[in-house]
Amino acid sequence: MVGLASELERAHARIAELEARLGRDSTNSSIPPSADSITAKAKRRADRSSRERSADRKPGGQPGRKGSGLAPTVTPDRTEALPAPGDCSGCGADLADGADAGMSGAQVWDLPPLVMEKVHYLLPRRRCGCCGKITTAVPPWGAAGNVTYGPNINAAAILLASEGNVPLERTAHLMAALLGAPVSTGFVARALERFAQRLAAAGFEEAMKTALRAEEVLCADETPTNVIGKDTDAHGQPVPGSPHAVTVRTPDARLVYYAPIGSRSKTALAGLGVLDGYAGYLVRDDYAGWYQFDAQLAGVGQCAAHLIRHCKGVLELHPTQQHWAADVITPLREAAAAVTEATTDGRDHLDPQLLADLRKRYDHAVGWGITTNRHRDWAKGHHPGYNLATRLHNKADQVWTFTRNLAVPWTNNASEQALKGPKRHQAVSGYWHTLTTLAGYCRVRSYLVSTRGHGVQAIDAIHTALTALTGNPWLPTISTA
């Protein structure tokens, strides 16, 4: 009987493991929402639709929300006077002899008609009386003897394809429909390539890395990408590993750097060159490839969003036996709320007693997770609850970094939001041909996202880089704040 009971217990543990694997999705693990099953996506939609609106909550924008409506400007570009009305809007009587009742006004904001202008430049040529060489005047764009699209059309193609995440072929179609510019798919690709090369020649990436290394807090994350042509080694063999896009950014959107790596390896992450000599705080998930930088850092902030998802995954294994996981989530969220309140009030630290109480509750819950799962059966290795509780215990100082330095965000959501750009581009375009084309995409995205974070409109940022004869793009500088 003892043998049968033991066998039955192992079977229950195996069933629990299989159910846990089947139940993993973006709400209880590190699986991205895009990889969720159809069932998981339907469950998310059902959860959203089942949320009840508070009886006190009115439809529309809530009190305190800044509106986005238009406000009349006191300096319009031009003013037009319209004819007086001819018929009364009330009874329909003729107003030809009606008394003057003053003047009202209305503003209409619109774009002038978009018409492609074809300019023919006459380029004077002069022969040198000394050496006899003939010199031709330089046009503001393009080269003598050529017919080329100008900077505005190039900027529109870059804006649609990169900022809008529109596939190249559809970008060409939109250019023809919207601007009357029948460009080819190849033109769009070359416009993006030329722009990336212009940024590289201006030293944009080195300036970005230098500015990032001067920041107090950085966030980092990575996501897999589809690249058809992988890098090869000295023998012509494909390099092991899956290509990824990496972002290293400030918690706000002032500086957002993207870069490609051929594999998600420790060596590839070190090769980014961003964290060389960096001594500030790094917010990240617990992927081991980032451990190599820990010794030089002032501190590491573990992403609480990842930890909460893992806690939810363990809690779903058994709502009572694993309730300790819920008891971990609660103090973390309360600590985040306390940090928000403190920063809103202009304080640079939490109340010591409040912090001590929150940490005590966290430590007690984690300790219970270790104790209750230490000898709990699992088909392979330790029980997931034990693994998570042990990790939360060993990394507790990193988990609570955001409560000691309020400039450190409690999650790495900033990085995950930044990586939505490459994911969305991949969703609509499918893949990149090589790591070189992925690098060009990353450079352009780094530039456009960071200039937007500095209040520069994308079209202006592109023009700044394109129209100068020698290339004069915006470059990040070391923050003095």
Tokens 């429909």, located at residue:
177
Instruction: Say if residue 23's pLDDT is above 50.
Output: yes
* pLDDT of amino acid 448: 96
pLDDT band at 241 (very low <50, low <70, confident <90, very high): confident
> Running DSSP on this structure, what letter comes out for residue 179?
I
Mean per-residue pLDDT over the chain, rounded: 87
Please determine, for residue 358, whether its predicted confidence score (pLDDT) is greater than 70.
Answer: yes
Within a domain: residue 284?
no
Q: Copy the structure tokens of residue 55.
A: 């009886």
SS3 82: coil
What's the angle, vertex CA 93, arms to CA 91 and CA 98, rounded to 5?
A: 120
pLDDT exceeding 90 applies to what percent of the chain? Answer: 64
> What is the span of the domain harbouring residue 357?
304-411
Q: How far apart are CA 41 and CA 418, in angstroms?
A: 22
| Residue 430 pLDDT class (50, 70, 90 cuts) | confident
Whether 248 and 293 have beta carbons less than 8 Å apart is answered as no
The pair of structure tokens assigned to 145 is 């003897």
Amino acid letter, residue 351? D
What CA–CA distance (Å, rounded) separates 460 from 448?
10
Q: Is it the case that residue 446 has pLDDT exceeding 70?
A: yes
Helix-helix angle 151-158:458-467, to 10 degrees: 130
Q: Is residue 342 part of a domain?
A: yes
- Is position 406 within any domain? yes
CB 429 within 8 A of CB 225: no
Task: Give the pLDDT confidence score for residue 74 in this predicted structure.
Answer: 84
Mean pLDDT of 424-443: 91
Task: State the Rg of the chain over Cα.
Answer: 30
Helix (H, G, I), strand (E, B) or coil at 244: strand
Residue 312: is its pLDDT beyond 90?
yes
Residue 173 lies in a domain: no
Residues 135 and 124: their CA atoms lie apart, in Å, by: 9
Confidence band of 10 (pLDDT split at 50, 70, 90): low
Phi-psi group of 24: left, alpha or beta (phi > 0 → left; psi -120 to 50 → alpha; rest → beta): beta
185 pLDDT higher than 80: yes
C-alpha dihedral sign at 298, 304, 307, 311: positive
Is 68 strand, coil or helix? Answer: coil
Q: Which two tokens stand for residue 304?
A: 């609480």
Q: Residue 431 pLDDT > 60, yes or no?
A: yes
Residue 217's H or E segment, with its range, is strand 217-224
Structure tokens at 187: 């033109």
Residue 49's pLDDT band, with cuts at 50, 70 and 90, is very low
- The residue type of 264 is R
Q: Assess contact for 366 and 327: CB atoms under 8 A.
A: no
pLDDT at 237 over 80: no
pLDDT grade for 51, boundaries at 50, 70 and 90: very low
* Helices and strands (H, E) in the chain, number of each type: 17, 9
Task: Calculate the alpha carbon distances from 103 to 79, 81, 89, 224 in Å.
Answer: 13, 10, 16, 62
Residue 50: the pLDDT is: 41
Across 185-198, average pLDDT: 94
- Write the single-letter amino acid at 165: N
Residue 470: is its pLDDT beyond 70?
no
Specify the pLDDT at position 21.
60
On whether residue 76 sits in a domain, the answer given is no
DSSP-H helix ranges across 159-246:
168-174, 185-201, 204-213
Question: Which own/partner pairs from 361-366 qualify as long-range (CB within 8 Å, at least 24 positions apart)?
Answer: 361/327, 361/330, 361/331, 362/328, 362/331, 362/332, 362/392, 362/396, 362/399, 362/400, 363/393, 363/396, 364/327, 365/324, 365/325, 365/327, 365/328, 365/331, 366/324, 366/328, 366/392, 366/393, 366/396
pLDDT of residue 342: 96
Mean pLDDT of 277-292: 95
pLDDT at 479: 74
Q: What is the DSSP letter of 292?
A: G
354: in domain: yes
| pLDDT score of 142 more than 90 | no
Q: What is the pLDDT of residue 57?
A: 65
Give the residue-averaged pLDDT of 332-345: 96
Task: Show the CA angle centred on residue 206, arms to residues 204 and 210, nearest 5°.
Answer: 115
What pTM did the predictor assign? 0.81
pLDDT band at 32 (very low <50, low <70, confident <90, very high): low
239: pLDDT strictly greater than 60: yes
pLDDT of residue 8: 65
Two tokens at 45?
A: 């939609």
Token pair of 97, please?
Answer: 């002899």
Q: How many domains is the chain built from? A: 1
> Each residue of 376-396: pLDDT tens digit?
988 888 999 999 999 999 999
Distance between CA 140 and CA 199 in Å, rounded? 19
Query: Nearest to residue 440, comparing CAs of 269, 192, 244?
Result: 192
| Nearest residue to 24 (alpha-carbon basis) of 284, 264, 315, 302 | 315
> Is the distance from CB of 202 to CB of 473 less than 8 angstroms?
yes
Using DSSP, state whether 228 is helix, strand or coil.
strand
End-to-end alpha carbon distance in the chain: 72
CA quadruple 408, 412, 418, 419: dihedral sign: positive
State whether residue 216 is helix, strand or coil: coil
The reply to whether 365 falls in a domain is yes
413, two tokens: 């959501």
Q: Please, which pLDDT band fits residue 5 given cuts at 50, 70 and 90?
A: low
User: Is 359 inside a domain boundary?
Assistant: yes
